[in-house]
Amino acid sequence: MTKEYKTITEISGPLIFVEKTEPVGYNELVEIRTGGELKRGQVLDTSDEIVVIQVFEGTGGLSKESAVSFTGDVIKMPLSPGIVGRVLSGSGRPRDGGPEIVPEVLRDIAGAAINPASREKPRAFIQTGISTIDGTNTLVRGQKLPIFSGAGLPHNDVALQIARQAKALGEAESFAVIFCAMGITNEEAQHFLADFERTGALERAVVFLNLADDPAVERILTPRLGLTTAEYLAFDLDMHVLIIYTDMTNYCESLRQMGAAREEVPGRRGYPGYMYTDLAIQYERAGIIRGKKGSITQFPILTMPGDDITHPIPDLSGYITEGQIIISRELHRKGIYPPVDIRPSLSRLMNSGIGKGHTREDHRAVSDQLYAYYAEGNDLRGLAAIVGKEALSERDKLVLEFADKFEKRFVNQGRDEDRSIFDTLQIGWDLLADLPEAMLTRIDDKYIKAYHPKYAASAAKK
């Protein structure tokens, strides 16, 4: 029986201060009982005189009479294979009416860093069926590729489509999906769950739901629980795990709220100075370990406040993640789905997952050529707006038309349209074929001879 203390001296926002305790460990799990209700918290600061505790379920209902007991251990997540298919709360309690998880193992949710020397280089191509990702910003297993979006944009649909369609080329095996919702609305959560149920994905999913009206502090726990589960599924049970968490912006707001409650010296825009490290600890729990079969691929979604990519949250995320997929308001307004703007989007691990043996030998060249003319075409739009299309040179007119067609045929696709990488490359070639061959400066002659629609027919005959 652990000792109970009734020595709370101060309750302030999500924090409680307890004095005259036995020595308490930093980060230790704390249980607080008040009128039959059990709340959980974590030690943030410990000294002989006073212990500061953040309470995950909120401090509502707590008083100086509440009993505090220290468990002597850090927070651990109960895990067993039965966790797959469950819907849990943001703090890991059943939310689907099912029983508590009977643990086979208990894992520290803080998560130790993977030894960089034990990591395997990610290079297995994942086909998402979305051309703007597969063709020009290719995702590989073990990557962390966030979706940077804005309020009111269809990032959730994109994430769902990825979760539905993601597969490794030539393997029937599909991904286990872990979905962490942090501070999203009930309606959005319903949308996700309905889609999981419709497609049968729930059977291979674990869902953590912290909704907008759940305590903000709990959000700090949610991704840690999700990632601990992911590590268990990937490295104990040999599964390929895709983890989607939405919305990282809400998570960072919670960090800021906690920082303010602790009266810390604030950093940029009031976010705590350690936000970079904190985000890194979450994002870096993606990857592959040498000699293990499973992998963790992350898809964090974050909405950029005011569509501002220089805001601390997208900015710091971009430094840790391996690229980003940018959802564009402009494309969305044009009615293009998925409205992915490929120009600022990037997949840093693309090169290791494409080409001969992964996708197709001409992939890099086709992608570069598409990028180059789409970027140029976009610049020309500005010029055409000033001088009129007629004043452009013939070459420029072709490039301008290319950019329009690129958006309509390559970027645009159906919400259920699952394009193979070869379909995607074919669309790319069809678009490039409208340009004179001499303009294809980034593509090696041998690829032009092999894949250009003009030659492909005769090549096929041979």
Partner 1 sequence: MEVGKVKRVAGPLVQAVGLKSSMYDLVLVGEEGLMSEVIGISGNKHIIQVYEDTGGVRPGEPVKETGAPLVAQLGPGILTQIYDGIQRPLPKLAEMSGDFISRGLFVDGIDHKKKWEFKPVVKKGDVVKPGQAIGEVQEQLLIKHKIMVPPKMKGGAIKEIYSGNFNVDETVAVLEDGSKITMVQKWPVRQARPVAEKLAPTIPLRTGQRVVDGFFSLAKGGTAAIPGGFGTGKTVMQQTLSKWADVDIVIYVGCGERGNEMADLLHEFPELQDPRTGRPLMERSIVYANTSNMPVAAREASIYTGMTTAEYYRDMGYDCLMTADSTSRWAEAMREMGSRLEEMPGEEGYPAYLGARLADFYERAGRAEVLNGGQGSVSIVGAVSPAGGDFTEPVTQNTLRMVKVFWALDSKLTQRRHFPSINWLDSYSLYDQTLEPWFVENVSPDWNKNKRRAMAILQENAELEEIVMLVGSDALPEDQQITLEVARMIINFWLAQSAFHPVDTFAPYKKQFDLLAAILKFRDYAFEAVQKGIPVAAITSVPSKDALAKVRLEAEYEPILAKVMAQMDSEFKALK
Where in 334-393 is the site for partner 1 (CB under 8 A)? 343-344, 346, 348-349, 351-352, 364, 368, 371-372, 375-376, 382-383, 386-387, 391-393
Per the structure block, which two tokens stand in for 362?
A: 């001409």
Binding to partner 1 in span 154-193, by CB under 8 A: none
236 near partner 1, rule: CB under 8 A: no
Binding to partner 1 in span 256-275, by CB under 8 A: 264-268, 272-274
Binding to partner 1 in span 46-75, by CB under 8 A: 46-48, 73-74
Rounded to whole angstroms, the Cα distance separating 108 from 422 reads 43
- The residues, ordered by sequence, that sit 6+ positions from 203 with a Cβ below 8 Å of its Cβ are 84, 85
Question: Dihedrals φ, ψ of 201, to 5°?
Answer: -70, -20
Concatenated DSSP letters for 185-219? -HHHHHHHHHHHHHTTGGGGEEEEEEETTS-TTHH
In whole angstroms, the minimum distance from the beta carbon of 330 to partner 1 comes to 16
Per the structure block, which two tokens stand in for 287?
A: 């990857």
Report the C-alpha dihedral over residues 164, 189, 14, 224, rounded to 10 degrees.
Answer: -10
For residue 422, which of 241, 176, 169 has the smallest C-alpha distance?
A: 169
In whole angstroms, the minimum distance from the beta carbon of 84 to partner 1 comes to 22
Cβ contact 330:276 at 8 Å: no
Q: Which C-beta is closer to partner 1: that of 344 or that of 414?
A: 344
245 near partner 1, rule: CB under 8 A: no
426 near partner 1, rule: CB under 8 A: no
Q: Which C-beta is closer to partner 1: that of 38 or that of 113?
A: 113
Q: Which helix (H) or strand (E) holds 373?
A: helix 363-387
In whole angstroms, the minimum distance from the beta carbon of 29 to partner 1 comes to 10
Q: Which C-beta is closer to partner 1: that of 5 or that of 235?
A: 235
Rounded to whole angstroms, the Cα distance separating 112 from 162 reads 28
Binding to partner 1 in span 396-415, by CB under 8 A: 396
Q: Which C-beta is closer to partner 1: that of 188 or that of 315?
A: 315
Q: Which residues of 12-51 are buried (b: 16+ CB within 10 A; e: fewer)?
A: ebbbbbbeebeebeeebbbebebeeeebbbbbeebeeeeb
Residue found by looking up tokens 């919305």 in the block: 247
β-bridge mates for residue 287, sequence order:
296
β-strands 240-246, 295-303 pairing: parallel
Q: Which residues of 76-87 are buried (b: 16+ CB within 10 A; e: fewer)?
A: bbebeeebbebb
In whole angstroms, the minimum distance from the beta carbon of 293 to partner 1 comes to 13
Concatenated DSSP letters for 165-182? H-EETT---B-EEEEEEE
Binding to partner 1 in span 191-230, by CB under 8 A: none
In whole angstroms, the minimum distance from the beta carbon of 242 to partner 1 comes to 16
Q: Which residue from 198, 277, 434, 454 is in contact with partner 1, where contact means CB under 8 A?
A: 277
- Segment interacting with partner 1, rule: CB under 8 A, options 77-85, 278-286, 403-411, 418-426: 278-286
In whole angstroms, the minimum distance from the beta carbon of 95 to partner 1 comes to 27
Q: Which C-beta is closer to partner 1: that of 87 or that of 354?
A: 354
Q: Which C-beta is closer to partner 1: that of 164 or that of 363?
A: 363
Question: Dihedrals φ, ψ of 131, to 5°?
Answer: -60, -40
In whole angstroms, the minimum distance from the beta carbon of 27 to partner 1 comes to 4
Cβ contact 427:409 at 8 Å: yes
How big is the chain by its Cα radius of gyration, in Å?
Answer: 25
Binding to partner 1 by CB under 8 A, coded x per residue (else -) over 9-28, reads --------------xxxxxx
45 near partner 1, rule: CB under 8 A: yes
442 near partner 1, rule: CB under 8 A: yes
In whole angstroms, the minimum distance from the beta carbon of 402 to partner 1 comes to 14
Q: Which C-beta is closer to partner 1: that of 323 or that of 339?
A: 323
In whole angstroms, the minimum distance from the beta carbon of 286 to partner 1 comes to 7
Q: What is the DSSP letter of 89?
A: E
Binding to partner 1 in span 82-111, by CB under 8 A: 108, 110-111
Q: Which residue from 6, 20, 64, 119 is in contact with partner 1, where contact means CB under 8 A?
A: 119
Size of the site for partner 1 (CB under 8 A): 86
In whole angstroms, the minimum distance from the beta carbon of 391 to partner 1 comes to 5
Binding to partner 1 in span 285-344, by CB under 8 A: 285-287, 289-290, 292, 309-312, 315, 318-324, 343-344
